[in-house]
Homo-oligomer: A and B are copies of this chain.
Amino acid sequence: MNHTRYKAIIAYDGTLFHGFQRQNNVRSVQACLEKTLTKLNSGHPVIVQGSGRTDAFVHALGQVIHFDLETNRDCEKLRFALDTQSDEDIAIISIEKVSNDWHARYNPHQKTYLFKLDIGKPRSPFNRNYSSYFPYPLDVKLMQEAIQYLIGTHDFTGFTATGGSVEDKVRTIYRAEIYEYNNQIHFLFEGNGFLYKQIRNMVGTLIKIGNQRMPVEQITKILITKDRSLAGPTAHPEGLYLKEVKYLS
């Protein structure tokens, strides 16, 4: 059957979602989008594919999805309809048509994640769902030194949650930066893919280094030994944002 494939860039506030992926009996971004798209498609079911999952409470500034409709629509009208008919915590930034074999997950892409850490005293009540909080001393220079060791191609087994199904744990990080922004510290990671909880485990380890309860060299040790128990705790999901997905084709 003929259909048109649409690629959309979306943003969502993850606070009230149990993650991106459709699951029984809980609210997910994917299920919300599919419900609205099905309505816009005269009741015929529409399946949404994302570039990847995000966990419960994790936000997106630029998640990418694709879906198929049997009809050829005006992209801006479709964007407006999907945006205004979706719940207020999902926004549709743009929609474009792509070829029928284009796939949000399988087409090669790079991802950028941002992690926001609030260090203000007191914690801003407005950031409680939008950043993690660490009110203790942090040496930003030490963290900036340590993060350099994460850049490059490494086996990130030591930074992923145990029990994942992915066999190959080698990934490449192209860019990793830490900067101060108002009363926050922002961690930025750009790479060709990230393992389950990898960003949050890297951030939790960097915070422990910044708090001087781990040496800078711990990063290299974790990469070499692949030992998760040497890394810091998993940082909180509410600080994490999927910022951008860049497709190479």
Contacts from A to B (Cβ < 8 Å): 11-13, 59, 79, 83, 88-93, 122-126, 128, 130
Contact = CB atoms under 8 A, between A and B. Distances in A.
24 contacts: A11-B122, A11-B124, A11-B125, A11-B126, A12-B125, A13-B125, A13-B126, A13-B128, A59-B126, A79-B122, A83-B122, A88-B123, A88-B125, A88-B128, A89-B125, A89-B128, A90-B125, A91-B122, A91-B123, A91-B124, A91-B125, A92-B122, A93-B122, A126-B130
A131 to B, nearest CB: 11
Interface of A is mostly: mixed
Copies in the complex: 2
Nearest to A79: B122
A162 B13 CA distance: 37
A6 to B, nearest CB: 16
A90 B128 CA distance: 10
A122 to B, nearest CB: 4
A204 B20 CA distance: 37
Contacts of A91: 122-125
Contacts of A125: 11-13, 88-91
A53 to B, nearest CB: 18
A59 B124 CA distance: 12
A122 B61 CA distance: 12
A86 to B, nearest CB: 9
A80 to B, nearest CB: 8
Nearest to A123: B91
A38 B125 CA distance: 22
Contacts of A89: 125, 128
Of A12, A124, A125, which is in contact with the most chain B CB atoms at under 10 Å from its CB?
A: A125
A89 B125 CA distance: 5
A130 B15 CA distance: 14
Contacts of A83: 122
A236 to B, nearest CB: 13
A75 B12 CA distance: 40
Nearest to A11: B125
A30 to B, nearest CB: 15
A221 to B, nearest CB: 35
Contacts of A90: 125
A82 to B, nearest CB: 10
A239 to B, nearest CB: 13
Contacts of A88: 123, 125, 128
